Amino acid sequence: MTTQPNATGDGLRPDEISAYSALEDRVRAGATMPLTMAAPRRGKPPRHWLDLTRDERRDAVRALGLPAFRADQISRHVFEHLDLDPSGWTDLPFADRTRVAEAFLPSLLTSVRPLSCDGGTTLKTLWRLFDGSLIESVLMRYGVPGIRASGSGRNRATLCISSQAGCGMACPFCATGQGGLQRNLSAAEILAQVVAGARSLRDGEIPGGPGRVNNIVFMGMGEPMANYKAIMATIRTLTAAAPHGLGISARGITVSTVGLVPRINQLATEGLPVTLAVSLHAPDDELRDELCPINTRWNVAELVDAAHGYFVATKRRVSIEYALIRDVNDQVERADLLGDVLRRHGGHGWVHVNLIPLNPTPGSKWTASRRRDEAAFVAALERRGVAVTVRDTRGREIDGACGQLAASVGAE
């Protein structure tokens, strides 16, 4: 894996870039993978309708010599009908369909391998991008009557999407982290995952009848905060009302980060009530330095402060992600410390801990916690008054949302 510390990371200031390259040197000395903050310079994916803002769409249509009203027409096909293929758009003159397709709707994602489990209610798709990079998205439908594996509760669907091809954060327990960073995705490449998932649901391809995407989580491949500009453009289009966007509620969107503190602070100023998830995995710097190398740049106290600041600014309860790894981070003392760390920064009510049984990656020395250790960890947090749940393990047999599918196909 080569890193390019001089490459201009999305939205990174020069001082941040130099801090990152110094950090990379330090981490390189000890960790299996170097941290990579700045995405390598690679060919950009072609411009797509899904990359554009509403104003840019009007300009682009005019630049093509078409009347401005065509912009809304195209957007209706794309966002309302989830149709990215103009060949059947009968309200557009035949000759214009080809021009629109070529100018605005290049094919971005090719399905390589769809895999489903949980009675068909979990669908994972491996996508190939224009340059051969591989990413994945996972659609999970809950509460489907008659399918026990889909869980109980209300019928709803969550789509887990990738924000980068690979990831530069180098967390040693994560398959994606071990593969390094290939490149940032464009907004259109991120949104196209959503359009595809929304189509599958609408067209009744998932058991439970035609449905809609209720929740979007940036928990697929990549570190969304390291591709900040693209994920903000994505969120704005996800939340824009039809026909200018997908009309998904900001409250149903979760941005998950390993802890890029300046970006958490920036997100807090955007005025968007999206949910923030912070992948903490350890309450102490010594262990977190190892599990999440980014911790050597922004430590636990700084990260939890920023997370609390996000709650103060948005009133959205923050989710703390904690993968339970047997005999590594699952001791009761660590649960106690986690409770103390979270309460020190803002008392009760601002935060919720989501425990994830580790999904072991091939060749890893780590595995999931014992049942009794998991239960003791939960109990210790509850004693300290911290809200806690254990995440279900949907998609386990198809290597859930942890980059393993792309890793295994990439190795073929």
Q: What does the binding site for ligand SAH look like in residue numbers (CB under 6 A)?
A: 169, 171, 173-174, 219, 223, 256-258, 279, 321, 323, 356, 358-359, 361, 402
Nearer to ligand SAH, 159 or 358 (CB): 358
Nearer to ligand SAH, 171 or 192 (CB): 171
Amino acid occupying residue 123: L
| Least distance from ligand SAH to the Cβ atom of residue 256, Å | 4
Phi, psi at residue 14, to the nearest 5°? -55, -40
**Is position 136 annotated as part of the catalytic site?**
yes
* Distance of alpha carbon 279 from alpha carbon 300, whole angstroms: 11
Nearer to ligand SAH, 37 or 61 (CB): 37
| Least distance from ligand SAH to the Cβ atom of residue 227, Å | 10
Tell me the CB-side half-sphere exposure of residue 303, using CA atoms within 13 A: 30
The residue annotated as part of the active site, out of 160, 270, 402, 412, is: 402
Nearer to ligand SAH, 72 or 392 (CB): 392
| Least distance from ligand SAH to the Cβ atom of residue 394, Å | 12
Look up tokens 């994602």; give the residue: 109
* Distance of alpha carbon 228 from alpha carbon 353, whole angstroms: 24
Which helix (DSSP H) or strand (DSSP E) does residue 193 occupy? Answer: helix 187-202
Amino acid occupying residue 410: G
Q: Which of 49, 90, 83 is nearest to 203 (CA)?
A: 83
| Least distance from ligand SAH to the Cβ atom of residue 163, Å | 8
Can you list the pairs that 103-107 forms with residues at least 24 positions away whose Cβ atoms lie under 8 Å? 103/60, 103/64, 104/47, 104/48, 104/49, 104/60, 104/74, 105/48, 105/49, 105/78, 106/45, 106/46, 106/47, 106/48, 106/130
Nearer to ligand SAH, 118 or 223 (CB): 223
* Distance of alpha carbon 242 from alpha carbon 396, whole angstroms: 35
* Distance of alpha carbon 359 from alpha carbon 366, whole angstroms: 9
| Distinct helix (H) and strand (E) counts, the chain | 13, 12
Nearer to ligand SAH, 24 or 321 (CB): 321
Amino acid occupying residue 366: W
The residue annotated as part of the active site, out of 24, 136, 189, 321, is: 136
Beta strand 351-357 with 387-390: parallel, antiparallel or unpaired? parallel
| Least distance from ligand SAH to the Cβ atom of residue 369, Å | 11
Nearer to ligand SAH, 35 or 258 (CB): 258
| Least distance from ligand SAH to the Cβ atom of residue 53, Å | 26
Tell me the CB-side half-sphere exposure of residue 359, using CA atoms within 13 A: 19
| Least distance from ligand SAH to the Cβ atom of residue 11, Å | 16
**Is position 292 annotated as part of the catalytic site?**
no
Active site residues: 136, 402
